[in-house]
Copies of this chain bind each other. A is one copy, B any other.
Amino acid sequence: MNHHTQLFKHSTYPSTQIIMGLKKAGVLGATGSVGQRFILLLANHPEFEVHALGASSRSAGKEYQDAVAWKQTELLPELAKSVMVQECKPEGAFAECDIVFSGLDADYAGEIEKEFVEAGLVVVSNAKNYRRSPDVPLIVPIVNTEHLSVIEKKVADAKAAGSKKPGFIICISNCSTAGLVAPLKPLVDAFGPIDALSATTLQAISGAGFSPGVPGMDVLDNIIPYISGEEDKMEWETKKILGSTNAANTEFVPLSDDVMKVSAQCNRVAVTDGHTECISLRFANRPPPSLASVKKTLSEYVCEATKLGCHSAPKNTIHVLEQPDRPQPRLDRNRDNGYGVSVGRIREDPVLDFKMVVLSHNTIIGAAGAGILIAELLKAKNLI
């Protein structure tokens, strides 16, 4: 298959624009579960092309198709098959990348991503290592794109100082955090702070990877009411994502526990893709908004990525469902190709103010897909 033909097929972009605009993308941890998804999402992308693939020294030097145990529902893209896998060093093809997506395990991400940034590269990482660093944006691309201002400032400062464009890293949030904050953001924007939030998750197994991931005996006819570290991540990340930047616009200031209390209970369930979250929340302002205004606010929310016309941005950021038994992961996880979030059963809560069910696609808006949309935002904002 011809490269350009393939790109045109799913695109409405005029061809010349596409060819001129192709940014070079690298993928760290390319043989893993998240890496494979980055490659799939890049395969027919109108703005990016796979340029460098990095994996362990065991895979380095092999063609990608020989190095990977491909386990996706779509076939390994032709374009990636014969890309030579290299080690995860900011050298060779990686040095030429406009953007590098990291699907590395936390055990390796810390050091490797640091090296890449120090070499002046732009890294969008799915690893947890730098999410809590005060100067690193933790971005859910349908939620807190205003946090990219810290990067904009850093790049502008470097330009003003005549330095070369600096490397930087942007972290993708934890998968369960992404779904949670999607409805929170427009509500906070419209009605002021949420001071209490309880979330119980029913999480799909795909997020845990596949070698081995969640054992079959753990999910078949079963629930695992625990995911190591997950509740803490949800509670902490939510407060950073809904938080602000400091006055100098150089660091992030998470909401304090006084402003917002968050409680998460995380469960692993027998679902392949799609995290379901039963949440309840209370607004700080009294009286709280009406049920109708909450629904209207969620329905009308348009994220910045959509406004900027980003390729992968959802048409509807939040799908408000009125059927009593929705959203359901099997039926609703692929709304807007997994970039839209579905919210249903919005109703008053006897304990807090409102409760609702939130569904998000854990490997799209909750992981690799978020990385791609972040990259589209960076391009739209001329940061790559």
Contacts and interface: CB of A to CB of B under 8 A. Distances in A.
A101 to B, nearest CB: 22
Given A226-B325, A262-B350, 18 more contacts: A71-B331, A200-B200, A202-B202, A214-B215, A215-B216, A216-B218, A217-B272, A220-B220, A221-B270, A223-B269, A224-B325, A225-B278, A225-B326, A228-B324, A263-B349, A267-B276, A267-B278, A270-B271
A225 to B, nearest CB: 4
Contacts of A216: 205, 208, 213-216, 218-220, 270
A205 B226 contact: no
A53 interface: no
A273 to B, nearest CB: 8
Given A235-B350, A262-B350, A280-B198, A223 B271 contact: yes
Given A73-B331, A73-B334, A262-B350, A272 B221 contact: yes
Contact of A221 (B221, B235, B276, B326): B221
A219 B197 CA distance: 28
Chain A, interface residues (CB within 8 Å), range: 35 or more
Interface in A186-245: 196-198, 200, 202, 205-206, 208, 210-226, 228, 235
A96 to B, nearest CB: 33
A329 B222 contact: yes
Given A210-B217, A217-B206, A334-B73, A328 B265 contact: no
Interface of A: 9, 12, 71-75, 196-198, 200, 202, 205-206, 208, 210-226, 228, 235, 257, 261-263, 265, 267, 269-272, 276, 278, 280, 324-331, 334-335, 344-345, 349-352, 355, 357
Contacts of A205: 216-217, 220
B330 A226 contact: no
Contacts of A75: 335
Contacts of A218: 210, 216, 328
A75 B335 CA distance: 8
Contact of A329 (B210, B221, B335, B357): B221
Contacts of A220: 205, 216, 219-221, 270-272, 330
Nearest to A349: B263
26 contacts: A73-B331, A198-B349, A198-B351, A198-B352, A200-B200, A200-B265, A202-B267, A202-B269, A210-B217, A213-B217, A215-B216, A219-B220, A220-B220, A220-B271, A220-B272, A223-B329, A225-B326, A226-B325, A228-B324, A235-B350, A261-B350, A261-B351, A263-B350, A265-B278, A272-B330, A351-B352
Contact of A357 (B202, B225, B344, B351): B225
Nearest to A223: B276
A272 to B, nearest CB: 5
Contacts of A272: 217, 220-221, 330
